[in-house]
Amino acid sequence: MKIVILDGYVANPGDLSWDGLAQFGELTVYDRTAPQDVVARAADAEAVFVNKINMTAEVIESLPKLRFIGELATGYNNIDLAAATRCGVTVCNVPAYSTASVAQTVFALLLQLKVNIGRYTRAVAEGQWVAAPDFSFTMGPIEELEGLTMGVYGLGNIGSRVAAIAHAFGMQVISPTSKAADALPTYVRKVAFEQMLAEADVITIHAPLTPQTRGLFSRSAFAAMKSSAVLINTARGPIVNESDLAEALRAGIIAGAAVDVLDREPPMADCPLLADDLVKGERPRLLITPHIAWQSVTARHRLLDVSVANLAAFIAGSPQNRVN
């Protein structure tokens, strides 16, 4: 079997091993592949692994030997599932591998917004504590998480883990989940979407990108939130309207935001969220990290292990984690 990995660098920049996949046949690994090179590089492959490469209908139909596509991620909106099914290609993803990694990043971002640890450590490194007249000094308010209300939009694996951690911090948890109220943990209160917007001190997004969620958090949603509320997005960038978020932050409609994902990645220099007045200064209103929430070493190990198991199961005739 010929196996091709088209964009392997982000999942494995060299600190892990591809040997698990190599045991199944001839393996070729490309760190990155330009769109115009996808068909040529995968021409003779029976199995192709991708992360963000777009496997369009045109691409899939141009690969007659292709039998298996492995998504090196949980989300698979970069693959035309209908075309894959039509061409007899099995598509498998890796669910839940990054749950702990993303959940801890949510709270790293939230704590930075509320405590501003980065600013304090920089101040100490710059000598400000040495020069201080008191044993302690302040650089703005430090807020506690206990007693705040967190709205969790998307109560799947990651959202449920975030809810549990929020509860451990002493936060109230609400969610406009489609799950039945009696099926939820006792610490999660089911509410309507509009009620979440109105009540939450923190809203964290953990939903997939669909036609229904695209642009859901826009001007009207921000206007319905508390002026003291903050938004966190570690899911998919297009769920948030970037121009509207920038406007809401500048106008003080909401107090702050932290995002690990953007509409376009990497972003263009003119991305409205990269404006200096939002991301720079002593206490920026907006924190942006470069899509790293999923990227812990442990999560990436798990990603590769499940990818190997997915291909093994396919070869054995019993595909697992199939999405088409």
Does residue 119 have an active-site annotation? no
Are 91 and 71 in contact by the 8 Å Cβ rule? The answer is: yes
Catalytic-role residue among 41, 214, 219, 291: 291
Catalytic-role residue among 126, 194, 265, 282: 265
Does residue 167 have an active-site annotation? no
Q: Which helix (H) or strand (E) holds 91?
A: strand 90-92
Catalytic-role residue among 236, 285, 300, 302: 236
| Helix, strand, coil share (%) of the chain residues, nearest 5 | 35, 15, 50
Structure tokens at 10: 């982000």
Rounded-to-integer distance, Cα 197 and Cα 207, Å:
15
Are 200 and 174 in contact by the 8 Å Cβ rule? The answer is: yes
- Write the DSSP symbol of residue 37: G
Does residue 236 have an active-site annotation? yes
Name residue 203's beta-bridge partners: 151, 231
> 231 φ, ψ to 5°?
-115, 140
Rounded-to-integer distance, Cα 112 and Cα 212, Å:
30
What residues act catalytically? 236, 265, 291
